[in-house]
Structure 1
Amino acid sequence: MQMVGIIIGSFIIVTAFNLFLIPHEVLSSGMSGISMIVGMITPINTGVANLLLNLPLLIIGYKMLGKRFIFNSIFSVFVISLGLYLVPVFPVAKDTILSSIFGGALTGLGVGIVFRSSGSTGGFDIIGMIVSRKKDFPIGVLLSGMNAVVIVISGFLFNWDSALNTLVSIFVTGKVVDAIYTDHVKLTLMIITEKGEEMRNHLVANLYRGLTIMDGVGGYTNGSRKILISVISRYELNEVKSLISEVDPTAFVNITETIEVMGLFHRPSPQ
């Protein structure tokens, strides 16, 4: 089902790009926006540019992030790149502002579906996740800064109307992604399971974040169990849910919004 979700989400993104955004010189966020710029000012097809620009990041991500997440991201980037290459650029609507809003909404829908399928569309998301794991740096600030660069480049290369429409598109995309996936950057997981040691080993082997483990007693059964607590980014949520289900499908999992994290967000280095 994950592959089906990634294909559907990626196809929706392709539709948004080639039918609404690119015909009006409106850019998307992240590396996709840079790929659009390359496609607009050079003979290189946008799909080819998207694949070439994302490939080095995905290779680095494969070594530093979860392998399943990166594999799904590679698949999504490949589907998007192939779709951008095959689907002709054709303006469905004549109004640039409406195309920016609707294209941004479609992009957000596609990205949200890909996120829910334990993947990403590559690009700046991979950069942000790598930096946030190496440095205690807010990923949202980093992504906003990189997207601001795309907007400024759009203004200088095309015109400032195009840059403002790009800003509208990126804003709408972010809102739709939040509505479909989750609007919290960081989440706290509390996992209550009778398979504490197996769960610990599985999460430590596949998840970059640290874990805190406590002993617990069932209020109804009076049986012993383990309570595992971890803080993750929103991009890791579906992957972590799958990891938990692989060990204990009956585990009780409470997912709550985390307002702020102090100290190390990533896994501490071994002493």
Structure 2
Amino acid sequence: MNPISWKSVFSLRAIIFTVLGVGLAIIGLQGFMVPNNFLDGGVTGISILVKSFSNIHISILLVVFNIPFLIIGFKKISKTFGVQATFAVLLLAAGMYFIEIPVFTTDKVLIAVFGGFFIGLGIGFVIRGGGVIDGLEVIALYTERKSSFTAGEIILSLNTLIIIGAAYKFGIETGMYSILVYYTAMKTTNYVVDGFEEFTAMHIISKQPELIKKTIVNDFNKAITVYKGERGYLPGSYSVKADADIIMTVVTRLEIHRIREAAIKIDPNAFIYVHSIKEVKGGLIQKN
């Protein structure tokens, strides 16, 4: 395993994102969720649930429940990640212990929406800083390699059990609101991590391939890849077919509409489809 990259751990970007993320998570937990026994899943949800059964401070529970996940992250992912995640968890625990934030509202819908929003922002910023404040995703990724289930399925299953526990302890209504918290937090986290620069693969099949290629490359300054294929095979005219260029380019979500409109202007009958991609590495990726 590679040694710890202290340059990454103490980089200004990592520190700013981690501190900002932890601060936002504290606002979500103290200002909305913990006083009202609303859960968002993961280690924070487990900690809030266990806190209701005991007098143990939530800061201690956050550290204790994250320890096994941090160890797995340190051993199975990277030492640098393990250090950054440990720093984020300890900072969150310290903030929950020493910082007091008044409850902002008692409206259950506002608690669910804004509690999930702030905790989602916090988790997202910490991830962008290189760490985590909820170790459940670590164990999900590790378990994914050992079983036939995906990380998303594992996380969903574990969080379902946590929310069932919330419904048992605090009532069905609180359990239902906790689902809203979890959904809001998940969507917010995904948006912060992916941001406006989430990459998407756009494929275009047209009768005017050369003009569309030139437009994408010259007008939008995007690199393209061209696959050789066939078009046709339509119901009722299966035998009708023709060679076709399948034009593929990697774009951000802000570029999809502009390139689609440009392609349709060239060929109103162009076939266009897009799909999200998890990671882009190598090649020429131009961010506009």
TM-score, structure 2 as length reference: 0.63
1:188-199 → structure 2 map (5 Å cutoff): none
Give the direction of change, closer, same or farther, for the CA distance of 1:75–1:253 in structure 2 (3 Å limit): farther
1: CA distance between counterparts of 2:49 and 2:59?
Answer: 12
2: CA distance between counterparts of 1:30 and 1:162?
Answer: 16
1:39 Cα deviation (Å)?
A: 1.9
| One-letter code aligned to 1:130 | Y
Give the direction of change, closer, same or farther, for the CA distance of 1:73–1:176 in structure 2 (3 Å limit): same
CA contact (8 A) 2:27 2:101 kept: no
1:125 Cα deviation (Å)?
A: 0.8
Tell me which residue corresponds to 1:159. Answer: 171
Give the direction of change, closer, same or farther, for the CA distance of 1:122–1:22 in structure 2 (3 Å limit): closer
CA contact (8 A) 1:112 1:176 kept: yes
Query: Residue 176 in 1 paired to residue 188 in 2?
Result: yes
| Percent of residue pairs identical | 24
Higher Rg: 2
From 139, 144, 149, give the equivalent of 1:132: 144
Tell me which residue corresponds to 1:7. Answer: 19
1:137 Cα deviation (Å)?
A: 2.6
Deviations 1:34-73 (A, max 9, x none): 0111222211000110101111221122111122222211
Tell me which residue corresponds to 2:28. Answer: 16
Matched position secondary structure for 1:182:
helix
Give the direction of change, closer, same or farther, for the CA distance of 1:29–1:15 in structure 2 (3 Å limit): same
1: CA distance between counterparts of 2:63 and 2:147?
Answer: 27
RMSD after superposition: 2.6
CA contact (8 A) 1:129 1:139 kept: yes
CA contact (8 A) 2:32 2:114 kept: yes
1:97-108 → structure 2 map (5 Å cutoff): 97-108=109-120
Deviations 1:230-260 (A, max 9, x none): xxx96xx7xxx9xx9xxxxxx64659xxxxx
Tell me which residue corresponds to 1:146. Answer: 158
What stretches of structure 1 of length at least 5 have no aligned partner?
Answer: 189-232, 245-250, 256-271
Deviations 1:177-198 (A, max 9, x none): 1111139xxx99xxxxxxxxxx
2: CA distance between counterparts of 1:90 and 1:173?
Answer: 21
From 42, 51, 75, give the equivalent of 1:39: 51
**How many residues align structurally?**
197
Query: Residue 51 in 1 paired to residue 63 in 2?
Result: yes
CA contact (8 A) 2:72 2:139 kept: no
TM-score, structure 1 as length reference: 0.66
CA contact (8 A) 1:32 1:123 kept: no
Give the direction of change, closer, same or farther, for the CA distance of 1:64–1:98 in structure 2 (3 Å limit): same
1: CA distance between counterparts of 2:134 and 2:178?
Answer: 19
1: CA distance between counterparts of 2:116 and 2:284?
Answer: 33
Matched position secondary structure for 2:127:
helix
From 77, 86, 91, give the equivalent of 1:65: 77
Query: Residue 81 in 1 paired to residue 93 in 2?
Result: yes
Matched position secondary structure for 1:34:
helix
Tell me which residue corresponds to 1:191. Answer: none
Matched position secondary structure for 1:44:
coil
Tell me which residue corresponds to 1:121. Answer: 133
| One-letter code aligned to 2:187 | K
Deviations 1:8-44 (A, max 9, x none): 1011101100110111110122011001112222110
Tell me which residue corresponds to 2:206. Answer: none
